Chains A and B, each alone.
Chain A
Amino acid sequence: MTDIVMLTVVGVLMALAIGLVAKFFGAKTDPLVEQLGELMPGANCGGCGFAGCADYANAMAAGKAKPGSCPSMSDETLKKVCELLGVQAEKGDPKVAVVCCSGDDHHATRVALYNGVNDCLNAMMVAGGAKGCTYGCLGLGSCARACPFGAIEILPTHVAKIHPNLCKGCGKCESVCPRHVIKLVPRSAAAINVYCNSPEKAPVKKKVCSGGCIGCRKCVKAAAEGQMIINGFLAAVNYDNPPPESVVEVCPAKCLRKAE
C-alpha cells in the first residue's frame, strides 16, 4: 500500500516539476512559425530556395521571404498561408521538369557495357558512360532517387521519364543530373518540347542516336517567327512564346514531341 502511495506522490511531484520547467525554461517558439510549419507540405524539396520547409517557414515569419515560392503548395494552402501572414501571394509561373533526350534503347547506341556503381555521375567518370551520345540521359536514375515526389521513372529502355502530374518543379533532378539533360520549363508553355540535348552536327548525332534533333529547321519554318529557336544544330522551344502543338508533325526525327 505504501509503495503505491509513494509512487503516486513521486509521480505527481515529477509531473509538477516537468510542467514548471517547461513553463519557465521552455524554448520560445513563434506561434506563427508553428502554424506555418503545419501548413507546409513537408517534402523538404528545396524548390523554394531554402534548406527545407522549416527554414522557409522561419524566413516567411521573419518577413525575409514571400509566400508563393513553394512549388508543391496547393493554391488553397497558399491562401491560408497568406491570410496568416497578411500579405498578398506572389505565385510565380509553376515549372515542370523535362528530360530533353530521346535516347532510349530503341534509339541510342550502346558503346560499352557499364557494370559499375548504379549512379549517373559514377558512370560519367568511367569513359563517359555506356551510351554513345555524350550529352544524353544515362538512364541510371540519379534524378529518380533525388526526386522527393517520386515523379521520375526510369523506363525499362534506360531513359528517365518525368510524370508531369506528379512533378512539382522543385529542380532537384536538374541539379543532380551530371549531363544537364533535365531542364525546368514553365508548365504553361511545356505542351511540346525538343527531346534532344546534343549540340553536335547531324551526322555525328546520327551515328550514336536515331532519335536526336538533326537541325533541319523544319520546325522553325513551320512555327511563327520567334516560336522555335535553333542554337547551332539543336532546335529549342521558345518558352516565352510557345509554338502551336501542330508543329510537332513536321519534325522528321520525331524529337519535337508533345509532352507525354
Chain B
Amino acid sequence: MAKKHIKFYGGVHPSEGKVSNSESIVNAPLQELYTVPLQQHIGAPTKPVVQKGDKVLRGQLLAEAGGFVSAPIHSPTSGTVKDLTTCLSANGSKTPAMIIESDGEDKTADPLPPFENWEETDPAALKARVGEAGIVGMGGAMFPTIVKFSPPQGVVIDTLILNGVECEPCLTADHRLMLETPEVIIKGARIIGRILGVKRIVIAIEMNKPDAIDTLTQAAKGTDVTVMPLIVRYPQGAEKQLVYAVTGRTVPSGGLPAAVGCVVSNVATTAAICEAVCLGKPLYERVTTVTGTPLVKPGNFRFRFGTLFRTALELCGGVSENPAKIISGGPMMGMAVYSLEIPIVKGTSGITLMSRDEVVQYTPSACLRCGRCNDVCPMTMMPGILSAQIEHQRFELAEKWHVLDCIECGSCAYVCPARRPLVQHIRRAKAVVSAARKAAAAAAAKK
C-alpha cells in the first residue's frame, strides 16, 4: 500500500448492506426445467442449432453466435429441448428462449478440448476459446468479452485491470468468488494477460474486503499479478472510474478503456475464462447473490443459466414478509422486476429484495440549485440542469451536453435533496438520442 490512492471524481458511499459476505457459495440443486434465453449478451441475436425434442448434454451448444458482437449459448444440463418459446427478461421485454427438461443425469458433453499447456498456446487460439465458450462481461453489462479482447489496429494495451471492486451495495458474489477460488482468478488473469500481451496485471479490490485482498495477495505470490487495494467509493466498479483509480488515465468521452491502453475484466468473467481454457467448460453457470431483508436466509449460489428467480428465492428459505420490490442486480443499478418467472442469465450478479420499509415513495419537488448532483457525478456532468432540459424535450441540447457519457450509476438521484428522478430523465434522453443517431445512420446508409 505504498502507492498513494487516487480518488476518482465524485461518487457516493451508500450503506453497504453486504449481509451475505460470509455465506459460502452453494451449488444450486439441479432443476427439472431450465428456461434458457437465447440472447444473454449485447449484440446480434444468436441462431439456435438444436430443434424441439432434441437430446442435449451439459455444455452442448444450443445456439451459435449470430455475428462478431455476439455470444453462443450452451445447455445448462443434460436433457431434452422441450420447447422453443419466449420468456420474460429483466428489462420487461420478451426474448426467445429454450426450455430444457432435465433428465436428472447431468451428463456432460464438454465438447471443447482443454488447453493444458496454455502458457505455450497461441494467444489467438485462447482468444477464440473465449468466444466459443460464450463468455460475456459478467459484471452486468453482458458485453461479449472477445470483442473487448480485440482492440482496434494500432492500439497497444499495456494494463489489464481485474475488477474485484464490487461497489454495488448488497452484492457479494464477486467477493465470495475471490475468497473461494483465488487461484482460478489468478490463472484466468494470466491467461488474459497472454491473450492481450500486457505488461501489468492489477487486481483492484476495495478496502472493505480485506480478506479478499489478503487471499488474492497470497495466491498471486510468484506471479506477475499485483493486488491493488482501493478506497471505498461507488461507482468505482465502472470501467472508466476504475481505469482512473488504478492508472490515473482518463478515458475520453465516448471512448473505451482500450483508448488509454487498458482492458477491464470482471473477476467472475476472469474465472470463467480460466475454466473455459483449462477445463474446456463453456459458460453455463455463474455465482449470484440472493439478498435482501425480506429473505429468510440470504446467500451466494452457483446457478445454471435458466434457473428462475422463483427457485433462487426458494433456495434462500423463502421470504419472511412480502417484498415491496424485487430487483435484478443491486439496489443502485439493478432493474426492478414484477415477475419471478425471469431466468438468471450471464449478467445476473444478484437478486435483491426490498421490504416495505426500505422502499420509500418520494414526491419530487423543484430543483433547489444546490449542485450536489454536480459534486457526485463521476462523469463530471451536470445532472440537475441536464434533466431539466430533458423534461422539456430538448434532446438536441442534451446530446450536445454529452448525455451519452452518463453511466447511469444513479449517484445524482441518490443525493438529490429534492428527490428529483435525475438519472431516470437522463436514461430517457439516452434512449431518445441513441435512437435518433441510429435513424440518422440508417438514413445516411440508404443515401
> What is the interface of chain A, defined by CB distance below 8 A to chain B?
111-112, 115-117, 119, 121-122, 124-130, 134, 146
* 7 A–B contacts from the bound complex (CB under 8 Å): A111-B338, A115-B361, A117-B428, A122-B424, A125-B91, A126-B92, A126-B335
Q: A111-B338, A117-B428 are in contact. Are A124 and B92 (CB under 8 A)?
A: yes
- Evaluate contact between B339 and A111: CB separation under 8 angstroms: yes
A115 proximity list for chain B (CB < 8 A): 361
Q: Report A134 CB to chain B, min CB distance, Å.
A: 6
- Evaluate contact between B338 and A125: CB separation under 8 angstroms: no
Whether a CB of chain A sits under 8 angstroms from the CB of B337 is yes
Neighbour of A134 across the interface among B90, B93, B336, B428, CB < 8 A? B93
Residue among B421, B428, B431 with max Cβ neighbours from chain A (10 Å) = B428
B424 proximity list for chain A (CB < 8 A): 116-117, 122
| Interface residue tally on B, bucketed by range | 10 to 19
| A122 CA to B335 CA, complexed, in Å | 12
Q: A127-B336, A134-B94 are in contact. Are A121 and B428 (CB under 8 A)?
A: yes
| A74 CA to B90 CA, complexed, in Å | 49
- Evaluate contact between B428 and A128: CB separation under 8 angstroms: no
- Evaluate contact between B431 and A127: CB separation under 8 angstroms: no
Neighbour of B425 across the interface among A112, A117, A127, A128, CB < 8 A? A117
- Evaluate contact between A128 and B93: CB separation under 8 angstroms: yes
- Evaluate contact between A121 and B335: CB separation under 8 angstroms: no
B432 proximity list for chain A (CB < 8 A): 121
A116 proximity list for chain B (CB < 8 A): 421, 424
B92 proximity list for chain A (CB < 8 A): 124, 126-129, 134
> What is the interface of chain B, defined by CB distance below 8 A to chain A?
90-94, 335-339, 361, 393, 421, 424-425, 427-428, 431-432
Q: Report A152 CB to chain B, min CB distance, Å.
A: 16
A146 proximity list for chain B (CB < 8 A): 393
- Evaluate contact between B421 and A125: CB separation under 8 angstroms: no
| A115 CA to B93 CA, complexed, in Å | 19
A111 proximity list for chain B (CB < 8 A): 338-339
- Evaluate contact between B431 and A128: CB separation under 8 angstroms: no
- Evaluate contact between B428 and A127: CB separation under 8 angstroms: no
B338 proximity list for chain A (CB < 8 A): 111-112, 127, 130
Q: Report B203 CB to chain A, min CB distance, Å.
A: 34
Q: Report B236 CB to chain A, min CB distance, Å.
A: 25
| A127 CA to B90 CA, complexed, in Å | 6
- 3 closest cross-chain pairs (CB), A and B: A128-B92, A112-B338, A127-B92
- Evaluate contact between B336 and A126: CB separation under 8 angstroms: yes
B335 proximity list for chain A (CB < 8 A): 126-127
- Evaluate contact between A125 and B339: CB separation under 8 angstroms: no
Q: A115-B361, A117-B424, A134-B93 are in contact. Are A125 and B336 (CB under 8 A)?
A: no
- Evaluate contact between B91 and A127: CB separation under 8 angstroms: yes
| A119 CA to B427 CA, complexed, in Å | 12
A129 proximity list for chain B (CB < 8 A): 92
Residue of B nearest to A146 (CB): B393
Q: A112-B338, A116-B421, A127-B335 are in contact. Are A122 and B91 (CB under 8 A)?
A: no
Residue of A nearest to B421 (CB): A117
| A128 CA to B94 CA, complexed, in Å | 10
Q: Report A45 CB to chain B, min CB distance, Å.
A: 14
B336 proximity list for chain A (CB < 8 A): 112, 126-127
Q: A121-B432, A134-B94 are in contact. Are A127 and B337 (CB under 8 A)?
A: yes
Besides A127-B336, A128-B92, 18 new A-B residue pairs in contact (Cβ under 8 A), listed by A number? A111-B338, A111-B339, A112-B336, A112-B338, A116-B421, A117-B428, A121-B428, A121-B432, A122-B425, A122-B428, A125-B91, A125-B431, A127-B91, A127-B92, A127-B335, A127-B338, A128-B91, A130-B338
